[in-house]
Amino acid sequence: MESIYIVTEGNYSDYRIVGVFDNEKLVDRFVNKFGGDIEEFPINPGIEEMNKGLSIYRVVMTRDGNTPHINNTDYAQQLMCRHGVNLVMDCWAKNEKHAIKIVNEKRSELIASGDWKLPDKEDVK
């Protein structure tokens, strides 16, 4: 996915955009000379997925594969995190069944790689 790079300065009411770049090397060159903070944003996010008829789903899945919560949402945050014993993930999918399949594959990868360890018993309340 292509990105644009926005150079910003300041905070809160002093926050402003200094420049917008379509090339990472150019934005690095600019910031090295003039300073500022670089923010990266995807160009046309989600358009390709919507053209394929996909929607965004947020899925909560337990380590053993149960799905206590799933909902269709309007906004994906590229979220994938583990809260205690649950995996919470946003994904583009055709329907709820497809979303569960996508998240279940990620759950299996996390367990197989050892990246999803069970928390200590005193951590789960």
What confidence category does residue 107 fall into, taking pLDDT thresholds of 50, 70 and 90?
very high
Where helices occur in the chain by DSSP H, the ranges are 24-34, 47-51, 96-113
Residue 17 has pLDDT above 90, yes or no: yes
* Residue 32: both structure tokens together: 């090295």
Alpha-carbon separation of residue 82 from 3, 12, 21, 56, 108 (angstroms): 27, 31, 34, 19, 13
41-67 b/e (C-beta count within 10 Å ≥ 16 → b): eeeeeeeeeeeeebbbbbbbbebeeeb
pLDDT in tens, 34-82: 999 999 999 998 899 999 999 999 999 998 899 998 988 876 566 667 6
pTM equals 0.67
Q: Where are the domains of the chain?
A: 3-42, 48-117
